[in-house]
Amino acid sequence: MQGLKTVLAQIEVAVARRNKDLPQVSPRLVAVSKIKPVSLIIQTYEAGQRHFGENYVNELADKASDPEILEKCKDIHWHFIGHLQTNKINRLLGSPGLYMVETVHSQKLADNLNKQWPKYMKADEKLKVMVQVNTSGEDVKSGVEPAQAVSLVEHVIKNCENLDFKGLMTIGQYDYDITKGPNPDFLTLASCRNEVCEKLRLNIKDVELSMGMSSDFEHAIELGATTVRVGSTIFGARPVKK
């Protein structure tokens, strides 16, 4: 798995360049296996990768329940990183190995997850979630506006006893040119975290930032990412959509 080795090496280099004022958390790599076959996921797992991300509920549920994955990847951690519709919640929550839902974008979704999770919960373990922030203000992207981040996080912490708030996530605009300066989406998410921690009295080291993909994960780490979501650099390019 040359792609995986390359990405892990790039993460180390980016960590060394990270601003020393930021929480010195070792970044988690989520390998985004969207439309990639089970055989490739198993190969990547056997090379030491444990966290995998999927954008679509049905694809995550099918892969998580695949007999080969259940047999050979017993410690796999699935992250849901796509837009979650209410009617798909049960299918997602029933997926073996579900580790985190990174895209909680509304109180309604948080309430629904909170209500349904006890049916699937093992050993009183809360469902780990992140609050998704639409840092780029694009209509096609989900997430709360940055100004609403504190109130949604507060709602999750105070009213959703079955959810475990872990951090903030953004997709941001694609192909930002970093020769123009630091990516404003990443700066916005970091500043949302500062505000959330200040107003809700949380320790900044306990609030993760999930940002950065194949094209910009090193830059994201330099600006404080604690989770990066990388697909094509690990698995190879995806076929172009027709």
Sign of the alpha-carbon dihedral angle for 50, 54, 57, 62: negative
- pTM check: above 0.95: no
Gap between the Cα atoms of 233 and 212, Å rounded: 12
pLDDT in tens, 164-182: 999 999 987 888 888 888 8
3-state secondary structure of 109: helix
| pLDDT at position 19 | 82
Share of the chain above pLDDT 70, in %: 98
Position 236 pLDDT exceeds 90: no
Question: What DSSP state is assigned to residue 133?
Answer: B
Q: How many other CB atoms are found less than 10 A from the CB of residue 30?
A: 26
pLDDT tens digit sequence for 34-44: 888 999 999 99
Could you read off the pLDDT of 108-139 as tens digits, one per residue?
Answer: 999 999 999 999 988 789 999 999 999 887 77
Please write the tens of the pLDDT for every residue from 197-235.
Answer: 999 999 999 999 999 998 899 999 999 999 999 998 898
Answer yes or no: are the C-beta atoms of 86 and 120 closer than 8 Å. Answer: no
Range list of β-strands (E), the chain: 28-32, 51-54, 77-80, 98-104, 127-132, 163-169, 208-210, 227-230
Q: Are 143 and 134 in contact (CB under 8 A)?
A: yes
Strand, coil or helix: 29: strand
All domains in the chain, ordered by first residue: 1-230 (3.20.20.10)
* Nearest Cα residue to 211 out of 240, 182, 180, 238: 182
User: Maximum Cα–Cα distance for the chain, whole Å?
Assistant: 49
